[in-house]
Amino acid sequence: VRKSREETLNTRKRIVEVAAEELRAKGIDGAGVADIMSAAGLTQGGFYRHFSSKDQLVAEACDVASKTLSDALRAHSQGKPPHKARQDVISCYLSTSHRDNLSIGCPFAALGGELARADANIREVATEGFLRLTNILAEQAHGSESSRRSEALAATSAMIGALMMARVIKDETLSQEVLQAARDALCR
C-alpha cells in the first residue's frame, strides 16, 4: 500500500503534529510510539519509515510545539502598542484556558523537567524554541538591548514556572492565585 510522495509528506507532518499534542498531554515517557501512531490513524509498524527513533520524533515535535506557541503569542501582540502587547501576551500565556489545555500549550511548562534530562539534540531544539519565545517579549520592551534581553529571559521563564505550578496545584482557588500573582508581577 505504497503512498504517493505528497501523501507521504502529509503523513509525516501529521505524525509530528499529533505527537506534539500527545507528548505535551502525557509526557515524553507517557506517550508511546503506538499511541501516537494510532492517534494519527496509522499502525506502529510504519513509524520507522518516517523517523529513525522516538527521540528524533520528540525533537521535531518539540520544535513544532514551540513554533506554534510562538506564532500564537505573536499574533496576540501584532500591531499593538508595546505595553498593551506585552500585557496581552502575558495574559494569554497565563490564562486558565492555557493551563487547562496541556496538549496545545507551552511545551516547556508541560515537559520542562523531561527536556532537561533529554538528549543533546532535543535540548538544542528546546533552547531555540525558548529563545523564540523570549524574543516576543524582548521586541517590545524598552531599554538597552541587553537589558531587554535579560528582562525577557526572566519574564519568559517566570511565566513557564507559574503555568507549570498552576497545573501542579489541585486547589482551583490557589491555582488561580498563582496565575494572577504572576500576571501582576510581570505587568507591574
Residues making contact with DNA (CB under 7 A): 1-8, 11-12, 31-35, 37, 42-50, 53-55
**Does the CA dihedral 40-122-161-89 come out positive or negative?**
negative
**Angle at CA of residue 24, ends 22 and 159, nearest 5°:** 160
**Binding site partner of 43, from DNA, its own copies, none, Cβ cut-off 5-8 A by kind:** DNA
C-alpha cell at position 188: 507591574
Closest to DNA by CB, 119 vs 177, is: 119
Q: Which three cell numbers stand for residue 88?
A: 496581552
Closest separation between CB of residue 41 and its own copies, Å?
A: 25
Residue 46, class by beta-carbon neighbours within 10 Å (0-12 exposed, 13-18 middle, 19+ buried)? middle
CB 42, min distance to DNA, A: 4
CB of 78 to DNA, least distance (A): 36
Choose among its own copies, DNA, none what residue 75 binds, the Cβ cut-off being 5 to 8 Å by kind. none
Q: Is 52 helix (H, G, I), strand (E, B) or coil?
A: coil
CB of 14 to DNA, least distance (A): 9
Q: Which is nearer to its own copies, 46 or 112 (CB)?
A: 112
